Structure 1
Amino acid sequence: MLMHNPPHPGEVLRELCLEPLGISVTAAAEALGVSRKTLSAVLNGKAGISPEMAIRLSIAFDTSAESWLNQQSQYELWHAEQHRKELNVKRLVAA
């Protein structure tokens, strides 16, 4: 079952991981081994969590990579579902 309008995983990362620890975007990017621009794009919802980023986050915050990818998947699926009626798809049935 889809969550109603799930938050972007970048929002979760900011609110539940970075802010409680008092970590700046610059310091977090350095610790994750990515550029500040890359992390900022994720935090601002301009980029998604890639499998590699999920692994980096799992190492840095002692979480599972799967949890980050699941959040990204739920976010993307919910937004795609908002356009379901616009898709021109016909149901296939056995002859």
Structure 2
Amino acid sequence: MEKLQFTTTKPESYIGQKPVIAKIGFPSKSMISLSFVDGRILSAPLSRFPSIGNLSAEQKKQYTIADDDTIIFDHCDEIYHIQDFFGLPDDYILKR
């Protein structure tokens, strides 16, 4: 019996694709969302990021994206890296 082989030109995952932040938004008073250039959107509760949550609506609009993966708010002392939102792989990848 012949074994079927499937090939695809595009992988069905984001493995190997660097997440590059395109913009951030605030879909509600309690959430932050990061939109990535590849179409991904990550949302997180602001309760995990109280320094951002304490900013006024106008202050939340005043930010810079640096090096594709770092968010710096003009009125906040914290600097946020993409790992702050995704976590570190060692924190969530199962080890066998």
TM-score, structure 2 normalization: 0.30
TM-score w.r.t. structure 1 length?
0.30
Q: By percentage of residues, which structure has more strand?
A: 2
Report which structure shows greater RCO (CA 8 Å, sep ≥6): 1
By percentage of residues, which structure has more helix?
Answer: 1
Structure number with bigger Rg: 2
